[in-house]
Structure formats: C-alpha cells, structure tokens
Chains A and B, each alone.
Chain A
C-alpha cells in the first residue's frame, strides 16, 4: 500500500478543492440514479467500518459517498417464507441480538459477530463485509453455505443473486454501476439442521482471518447427514464453496473416514498466498482443521451425536 505524497508527480494536486460529496438519497431509485450518474469514484456507506479505514489510509478518495442506511427496510430483520430477510444496514450486533436468526443460522451470526471489535460489530454489516470483498471476510463463508441470496437494486430495478456470486476477486464484486445490495435472504431450515463458522487468528480477537471455514449440515432422524455445504475463506482470491468436501459427509455420521475425506477435499481446494498473516502451508493445513472442527460443531448443533 503506497502512502500519499511519495510520488514525484502529483495526480491529486487539484482534488482537495473538490471535496467528497455526501448524499443521503430518499429512495432506492434515487440512490441508483446518483450512483449511475457519478463520473468519479463512488462509495456506498452502511456501517463504514471498511470504507472509513480506506479513506484514512488514502487508499481511496471517493468523489461521492452515498449513505443508504436510512432507506426503507435497510435496518429491518423480517421473517419471510420461513427464513429471514436481513436489511443491508443491519449491524452484526443487531443480528446477534435476534433470537430467531441466531437459532436458525448460528454460523452466519457467528461470522458476522467476529468482525473486528465490539465497537466495530455495532456498525459493521454483513453486506458491507461482503461487498468489500476481502478474501478473508468473516461473514461470507457462512452466507455461502447457507445458500443466502443477495437482493440487488439497480437502475433496472431489483434482482436476486446468490451471495456466492457477489465477490469475484479481492476487492471486486459482480455488481454493476448503479447497483447496491438492499438485503440478504437466509432460507428456511428443516429440523435437524445447523451451521457453524470458525476462523484462525493468531490472537483471540481483532485479527483478519488467516483461514476460515463454514459448514452447514442437514441430518435425517437417525443422525445421518443428508445435505452438507462447506466453504473456506482466506485461502483463495474469493470464498470457496467446496462441493467435494460436502459430498464426503453425505450419508455419514461424521466417522473418521468421512472427516478424513472432508479434510482432504478442503486442503485440495485451497490456493492461498503467503503474506504477513500466514504461509501457504499454514493456511492450507488449518483450513482443513477448521473445516473438521466446524463440521463437528454444526453436527452437534443439529442434534447429531458422535
């Protein structure tokens, strides 16, 4: 990351005169319109816990900041078809205080509640976390294993996109100009189903995930796995849904062979980098360990007994 003022030339010489415009559009349509019309750099503001950091670091200098927190439904959690629609401006803390979502999707809530500190959790949103598109985003793996759907609003109206299709690379999403996510939908659950999210960090809090895993399981009455979704974070440019890892658990009660298959598939799906937070070997190894541990937790939450 390059600090400002280091260049021998000065591309930003004039920009200080043009201050960032801050707008609070009155409707979804107005928000899309102002985003589409913007010639310069636009950013969307919900919790602000990523974008303000980038502002301070001078990594991005938006010409336009669009605050959408107050738009209808943005702060609401609503039951819908047995599942939940979660407004894009719902904070992690608010999500964690919702008994219904917590009971149905504990892994999703875990992911959201691990972002940053207590202070950050009171502002951060799953959607913001998703759209910042860090490979290590904490809220994303469990949203993916939950088969969550993002509702996107744009110049042509609303469309639904599976959450897994939103991040397309580090810092990049599939959203088009003028589009923003207004809510996330978590589908209904059958009985005997649960999820879990684990991440590896060197301290106990406050770190970006070095590797992470989310597992969502559905069991039949006898405790056999009937559906399994496994997603890994921080081990690839985007979150990685690993069908082979899920497949290894189907029809089993998480015996040793099933777990070994899960771990092998998880490790095989990793293509991490070595950086200041972890090495390739470490990320790969721990991703497998976390997938195993998350599977056990999800299984136990779903009523399975090993």
Chain B
C-alpha cells in the first residue's frame, strides 16, 4: 500500500508522545509474563541436557525416573512426531535430541512432576548412555575437510565437492568487474576479521505452560514473538492439527529475535499429553545461554579498493558464518547487507554457512548484518586513515541513494542514508575536541526490514470506542503505535482506542514480530482496516441521509456531506453512528489481511568517542550519538528507545560479550556474571537524532527502526578505538586483554 499522496499531512496523533496501554500493569508488577501463570493441577517440567558437545545416544533409560515420587510423565524424542519438512524436523530434533546430541546443553529428555524438587530429583534418575564423538566449535576449523561432521547430508547442491559436510550452503551477490575495479584503485586494503557468538540477552528466560488433552486439543501460554509460529511448530512437532491448538502470547520480557522459535513449548505439550495435566516449564539463565539460540560466530575476509580522493572502486567480501548444529541461512543476510550502504560499480559478496557443535542459531536484531558491516566499515575506515581522508566525506562520496543499484540486487527508492550522514556531519559531536587517549569513530548501518503476513480486525464498539485486534506480540511499545494509527485514521482521540494482541484462534496467520515489521505492517493493515470501517460507516450514513455513498466523506472523526450537492446534513460523529449501528445493519467493523511488502530499508549512522586506558586496554564510551531514518516516527519516544537499546546491545557486542567454549566443547560462561552485558554505569547518555525520509511503501511513510541500531556500534567503536589506541582490532569483542595485547605488540 503506497504512501498517501495527500499534501504534506498534518498528523494529529501520529508523532505525539502518548502513554502506552500496558504501562500501569508493568510498573505495578501486575503484567503477566511467561512464568507468571499457574493452573489447577499444574505440573513442573524439567529438562535433562547433554553435558557433551557431540555424542551418539546409545540408549536412554527413563524407568527409574518414571517411578520416582511425584513424576507423572517422562518424554524423549520418541514421544514427538516425525515431520517430513526438514525445517520442522530440525526444530523437533533441537527440542529433544533424536540420535545424537549435537551441542553442550542439547535437550535429551524431560520430566513433569508435582513439584520443582521432585522434577529436579527425577532428572537425575534418567540414565543416558553416550558414545562421545569428536566435536568442533570454531567456524574455520569446521570448514576443514577433515573436521568432525556434525550432521551428514545437509549440504545444498551449490556447495562445491570436497568441502567438509559441515558446509551447508553458499551464496553469492554482486555486480560489475572486480578486477577492473581493483585495478583502478590507488589503495587496496585486505583484512580478515573474526567475531564471537553473542546472545540476545533478554532478561526474561523462556517460560510456558502447556496443556494438551487426549482429544488433541490444547493450549499454550508462552512468552514468544509469534504465537502463530508457536502453533505451527508445535502442531508439526507433536503431530496435531494447528486449529486444535490455541496459543496465547503473554507479555514478553525481551525477544530481539531470540524468541522467534520454540524450545520448550513442544516439550511441555508432550509432557502434558502424557500426564493429562498442564505442565509449566521455565528455563534457567544457564539453560537460556547454553541451549536457546545465540548468534552466529564469524570469520570474514574483506577487500576494498579506493582512489586517493576517496571513491571506492571495488569491494569484495567472503563471509564464513557458523550457525550451530543445524543448517542456518543467516550468512545470506550478512552477505546482502555487507555493502548495502555503498554505490559501487564492482562488488561481490560470498557467503558460506557452516555447522558446528553449538546451539542452533536464531535471529538477533538484524541477523548477519552487524558482523559483516563491522568488517566492511572497518576497512573503509582504515582506508580513510591511510589516505588521510575524512570518514564522513568518504561515506557521502560513496553513499547509496535513490536509484543506486544496491550490492545485493534491488535498486533503491527514497532512502535516508545521505540525510543521516549530513546530519552527523552537521552535529556538534562531529567536531568536538578530543583529549589524550581518546578517539572518534563512525559507522553506517543498514537493515532491510520486512513486511509479512498480517491480519488486523478493527471493531467500532457501540459506545464509540474502538477495539483493534492484531496478532503480533508487543516487544517495543507497538500497541501504542497501532492505536495511534487507528486513532489518526478514524479521527478520534488516542484514548478511545484499545489495541489487543489476539491468540491464534482469533485471527488468521501472522508472521512473527521480527524484521522491524510491526509498526510498518501491522500499522499498514490497521490503517486499511480503519479505512474499511470508515467506508462502512459512510455507507450507513449515506443510507440515513438518503444520498449516494460517495457523497459522504470522513473528516476528523465525522461523516460529512462531501459537497453542496450532497445536501445539508449535520455531521455525524463516530460515536453517534456506532450508537445506532444495530438499526443500520448491525455492528460495524473493518478488517485487513495481507502479505505486506514495501517495507522501507532503514539506514543509520553512529558517532562514538572512546577513551582507551593505555595501561590496561579498558575502553570507556565517552559520547554516543545516533542518527537514523525512521521514515515517519509514529511515537518518537519509542523510536528513540529502539535506537538507544539497539546501540547498547551493539556496544556490548563490540566490547565484552562473547560465547566462550572450552577445549571440551562446553560453554564456560553460561550466566550473566561472565556473559557480560552492559550495565548502567558503563554508558553515557545516548543522544538520538531521528530523520524522516518517508517510505513510499507505507501510507504514513513508516520504516521499521528496531534492527538497524545494533549494526553500526561494532565498527564505530572499533574505528574510535583505532584512533584512541593506535591499533585496529579485527577480532570481537575487543575486550581489554585483547586490546592490551594488540597495543603492546
């Protein structure tokens, strides 16, 4: 649905800062999250996990556990169905290991018992006979022809013969003549980068309560980014019909992509089916880190050629990503995003996906992009340093604009990169003085953003209030934004609208809350649904006035005659129309179902000042400014919040967060003590500058904003550190021991 071609619209509600509908519940502790529910007769589930990185399961003996006091059910993979589709088979195998355990923490069996203590004791009675196998956890090691094979026969046809079976896919993007391009360059820099895996770090561990009866009808309450995804996964993995399963999404305590799949829900359902009772499973923090879905870890080669004036003549990237023990497609996004910010004559990006004995990767805000863009922006920056050029000027000289053939294929329409770069250049931060051991860095960032399957139902209540029913869990304040868009269209005050998130029985299929899609796609569908309701209201009023439907228009919450030819009729308010709806045909509603496209890409630029302690390698963030194109900021506070939150996640990724595996293939830092996410005292205030270059694909110009902010911090900080400390860090995180070692070299 295209951007409205109304003359520069004066928004009345959109763009203001309203109170969110779930605010009071959340500040009083009333809001119900995944673990906050109980049910009569509820059992407690607990999962047995592999202590080995790779092993064949020779046998599982659950007989003692099944007899233990309080135990009502024990399940293994044998209690799950056998989906034909590889996608669901992988989910099934990840929920409960089938023939092999593939990573430290891989679930093997589960019990449901009458108390947490009984479940804990019963787990210990399960006897698993393992045949330990060699393991591999490093991405480059896993690609070697003689590497231990994680799974056989998973490679796609385009993977060349002779590579390890761990290499499952291969992607290539680009255009132009690379050799000619590099020949034109005055300076070429080639670098290899390595990044460690990180975790989304949501503060709420996965939690669910599931109930599945002998008649195949069930219910799941869970914290998730997609109740329809949960339904689909559980139906396939349990072998039941999706329509018989009702999935209710609780309030969610953070997701960032990490809750766009299922780990415990199918297990809880299987336990419930066997025991005949509801089963609650709550993951511990250790389980979350060991056995949910971290990011990829990467090894990347980037080669860029530049003229003395700063024009990039050719660029090539080869990305090797490991996504854990199952095939993963994230390297495709990484390869597409890597050079997206640039207008290039010659560009090529290659991507390889590799399996390792690590947990199955899942999305984390702009999956694949932070690492590839870190590498590219680092090399661009190094070229600027070598050639003595201003990094912002070089970005401006090479920036993608409307009409640029992107490095990944499409031609850009209106985009906001140049606007964000110019805003950064004009900002006082860019020229503020720096002291000793301090350096300033910048990076561009990019994310595609998605549309996706979306259903919205909008009801005009008989008292003139509005109910919006949508199917996407609210991870960032979207209910408020959806209500705002409905209020804007209908011309009613914001507080007359209530937006609720439906369970799976109440609406058609909705894609998960991801891809920064909710404000865009659900907003778009809401606007359409509102317009459908408006059309119905106008129809009713036309009948009352005895005129044609198209002689009635809607303005500021009122149906009005469209012109003098329509006659003299006092305007009718929405409330008036609603009150007599029963007499004019019945209750009034509008709905819209769509697979939305036209999501606008979102570019950002981050500027950061760092200070590095030359004697310890400790990096302090002194000042941080974010510039990002939001298309149209529906609720500016929430847009700022996404920018700040994403940036801080990127700061953690750059400086301290990493998955540390031992020689034994076991995760060593499965807790918030040693998996170090930023704390309040680590950070300065973060300034945000919102640009608005409307997205032509949305009626109000909205672009997704949630993901782009995590992309620039990695290179921005690395670039700042290179100027503060005189060393270029090509390995993340640039933790103090690594930085000090580089400075001492």
Q: Which residues of A contact B (CB under 8 A)?
A: 2-10, 12-13, 15-16, 57, 200, 202-208, 210, 275-279, 281-282, 285-286, 289
Question: Is A289 in contact with B679, judged by CB distance below 8 angstroms?
Answer: no
Distance of A15 Cα from B690 Cα, bound (Å): 59
Question: Is B660 in contact with A4, judged by CB distance below 8 angstroms?
Answer: no
CB-CB contacts of B682-722 with A at 8 A, as 1s and 0s?
10000000000000000000000000000000000000000
Among B46-54, B380-388, B640-648, the stretch in contact with A: B46-54
For B673, the closest partner residue in chain A by CB is: A208
> Known contacts A200-B616, A277-B674; is A4 also within 8 Å of B120 by CB?
yes
> B741 to chain A: which residues have CB within 8 Å?
279, 281-282
Residues facing A in B597-634 (CB within 8 A) are 615-618
For A9, the closest partner residue in chain B by CB is: B127
> Known contacts A6-B50, A207-B673; is A200 also within 8 Å of B123 by CB?
no
Selected A-B contacts with CB under 8 Å, 22 pairs: A6-B50, A10-B124, A10-B125, A13-B125, A15-B121, A16-B118, A200-B618, A202-B676, A203-B656, A203-B676, A204-B681, A204-B682, A210-B736, A210-B737, A276-B660, A276-B668, A276-B669, A279-B737, A281-B737, A282-B740, A286-B615, A286-B740
For A290, the closest partner residue in chain B by CB is: B616
Cβ of B129 within 8 Å of any chain A Cβ, yes or no, is yes
The 7 closest A-B pairs by CB, nearest first: A6-B51, A16-B121, A5-B123, A282-B737, A204-B681, A289-B615, A276-B660
Cβ of B286 within 8 Å of any chain A Cβ, yes or no, is yes
Cβ of B64 within 8 Å of any chain A Cβ, yes or no, is yes
Residues facing A in B41-87 (CB within 8 A) are 48-51, 64
**Shortest Cβ gap from A129 to chain B (Å):** 15
Distance of A3 Cα from B286 Cα, bound (Å): 9
> B130 to chain A: which residues have CB within 8 Å?
8
> B618 to chain A: which residues have CB within 8 Å?
200, 202
> A210 to chain B: which residues have CB within 8 Å?
736-737
For B615, the closest partner residue in chain A by CB is: A289
Question: Is B120 in contact with A202, judged by CB distance below 8 angstroms?
Answer: no
Residues facing A in B327-368 (CB within 8 A) are none
Distance of A202 Cα from B673 Cα, bound (Å): 11
Distance of A285 Cα from B617 Cα, bound (Å): 11
> B676 to chain A: which residues have CB within 8 Å?
202-203, 206-207
> Known contacts A200-B618, A286-B616; is A12 also within 8 Å of B124 by CB?
yes
> B94 to chain A: which residues have CB within 8 Å?
none
> B669 to chain A: which residues have CB within 8 Å?
276
Given contacts A202-B655, A202-B656, A202-B676, 20 further A-B contacts (CB under 8 A): A4-B123, A5-B49, A5-B126, A6-B50, A6-B51, A8-B129, A12-B121, A13-B121, A16-B118, A16-B121, A200-B616, A202-B735, A207-B676, A275-B668, A278-B737, A281-B737, A282-B736, A282-B741, A285-B740, A289-B615
**Shortest Cβ gap from A108 to chain B (Å):** 22
Distance of A276 Cα from B669 Cα, bound (Å): 7
> A13 to chain B: which residues have CB within 8 Å?
64, 121, 124-125
For B674, the closest partner residue in chain A by CB is: A276
> A3 to chain B: which residues have CB within 8 Å?
49, 51, 286
> B737 to chain A: which residues have CB within 8 Å?
210, 278-279, 281-282
> B161 to chain A: which residues have CB within 8 Å?
none
> B432 to chain A: which residues have CB within 8 Å?
none
Question: Is B48 in contact with A5, judged by CB distance below 8 angstroms?
Answer: yes
Question: Is A6 in contact with B121, judged by CB distance below 8 angstroms?
Answer: no
Distance of A156 Cα from B49 Cα, bound (Å): 47
> Known contacts A7-B124, A8-B129, A276-B674; is A206 also within 8 Å of B49 by CB?
no
Contact-residue bracket for chain B: 35 or more
> A9 to chain B: which residues have CB within 8 Å?
127
- Of A8, A205, A210, A281, which is in contact with the most chain B CB atoms at under 10 Å from its CB? A8
Question: Is A8 in contact with B124, judged by CB distance below 8 angstroms?
Answer: no
For A275, the closest partner residue in chain B by CB is: B668
**Shortest Cβ gap from B114 to chain A (Å):** 12
> B678 to chain A: which residues have CB within 8 Å?
203
> B617 to chain A: which residues have CB within 8 Å?
282
Cβ of B399 within 8 Å of any chain A Cβ, yes or no, is no
Residues facing A in B649-670 (CB within 8 A) are 655-656, 660, 668-669
> A277 to chain B: which residues have CB within 8 Å?
674
Distance of A296 Cα from B296 Cα, bound (Å): 45
**Shortest Cβ gap from A6 to chain B (Å):** 4
> A10 to chain B: which residues have CB within 8 Å?
64, 124-125, 127
Residues facing A in B108-131 (CB within 8 A) are 117-118, 120-121, 123-130
Distance of A27 Cα from B499 Cα, bound (Å): 61
> A204 to chain B: which residues have CB within 8 Å?
679, 681-682
> A202 to chain B: which residues have CB within 8 Å?
618, 655-656, 676, 735-736
> Known contacts A10-B64, A13-B121, A276-B669; is A203 also within 8 Å of B736 by CB?
no
> A12 to chain B: which residues have CB within 8 Å?
121, 124
Residue from A6, A200, A281, A282 within 8 A of B49 (CB atoms): A6
**Shortest Cβ gap from B559 to chain A (Å):** 58
Question: Is A200 in contact with B656, judged by CB distance below 8 angstroms?
Answer: no
Distance of A203 Cα from B126 Cα, bound (Å): 40
**Shortest Cβ gap from B132 to chain A (Å):** 12
- Of B616, B660, B740, which is in contact with the most chain A CB atoms at under 10 Å from its CB? B616
> Known contacts A202-B735, A205-B681; is A2 also within 8 Å of B124 by CB?
no
Distance of A273 Cα from B575 Cα, bound (Å): 73
- Of B48, B124, B129, B674, which is in contact with the most chain A CB atoms at under 10 Å from its CB? B124
Question: Is A205 in contact with B740, judged by CB distance below 8 angstroms?
Answer: no
Distance of A104 Cα from B48 Cα, bound (Å): 53
Distance of A3 Cα from B126 Cα, bound (Å): 14
> B125 to chain A: which residues have CB within 8 Å?
10, 13
For A16, the closest partner residue in chain B by CB is: B121
- Of B656, B669, B737, B740, which is in contact with the most chain A CB atoms at under 10 Å from its CB? B737
For A2, the closest partner residue in chain B by CB is: B51
**Shortest Cβ gap from A1 to chain B (Å):** 9
For B287, the closest partner residue in chain A by CB is: A3
Question: Is B660 in contact with A206, judged by CB distance below 8 angstroms?
Answer: no
**Shortest Cβ gap from A250 to chain B (Å):** 24
Question: Is B124 in contact with A206, judged by CB distance below 8 angstroms?
Answer: no
**Shortest Cβ gap from A12 to chain B (Å):** 6
**Shortest Cβ gap from A75 to chain B (Å):** 28
Question: Is A5 in contact with B740, judged by CB distance below 8 angstroms?
Answer: no
Question: Is A8 in contact with B127, judged by CB distance below 8 angstroms?
Answer: yes
> B48 to chain A: which residues have CB within 8 Å?
5-6
**Shortest Cβ gap from A58 to chain B (Å):** 8
Distance of A204 Cα from B683 Cα, bound (Å): 9
> A276 to chain B: which residues have CB within 8 Å?
660, 668-669, 674
**Shortest Cβ gap from A209 to chain B (Å):** 12
**Shortest Cβ gap from A57 to chain B (Å):** 8
**Shortest Cβ gap from B124 to chain A (Å):** 5
Distance of A10 Cα from B118 Cα, bound (Å): 14
For A285, the closest partner residue in chain B by CB is: B740
Question: Is B120 in contact with A16, judged by CB distance below 8 angstroms?
Answer: yes
> A4 to chain B: which residues have CB within 8 Å?
120, 123-124
For A279, the closest partner residue in chain B by CB is: B737
**Shortest Cβ gap from B153 to chain A (Å):** 29
Distance of A204 Cα from B125 Cα, bound (Å): 43
- Of A6, A210, A275, A281, which is in contact with the most chain B CB atoms at under 10 Å from its CB? A6
> B660 to chain A: which residues have CB within 8 Å?
276
Residues facing A in B402-418 (CB within 8 A) are none
> A275 to chain B: which residues have CB within 8 Å?
668
> A205 to chain B: which residues have CB within 8 Å?
679, 681-682
- Of A4, A208, A289, which is in contact with the most chain B CB atoms at under 10 Å from its CB? A4
**Shortest Cβ gap from B614 to chain A (Å):** 10
Distance of A289 Cα from B614 Cα, bound (Å): 11
For B59, the closest partner residue in chain A by CB is: A8
Distance of A281 Cα from B127 Cα, bound (Å): 43
**Shortest Cβ gap from A62 to chain B (Å):** 15
Question: Is B616 in contact with A16, judged by CB distance below 8 angstroms?
Answer: no
Distance of A277 Cα from B735 Cα, bound (Å): 10
Question: Is A16 in contact with B127, judged by CB distance below 8 angstroms?
Answer: no
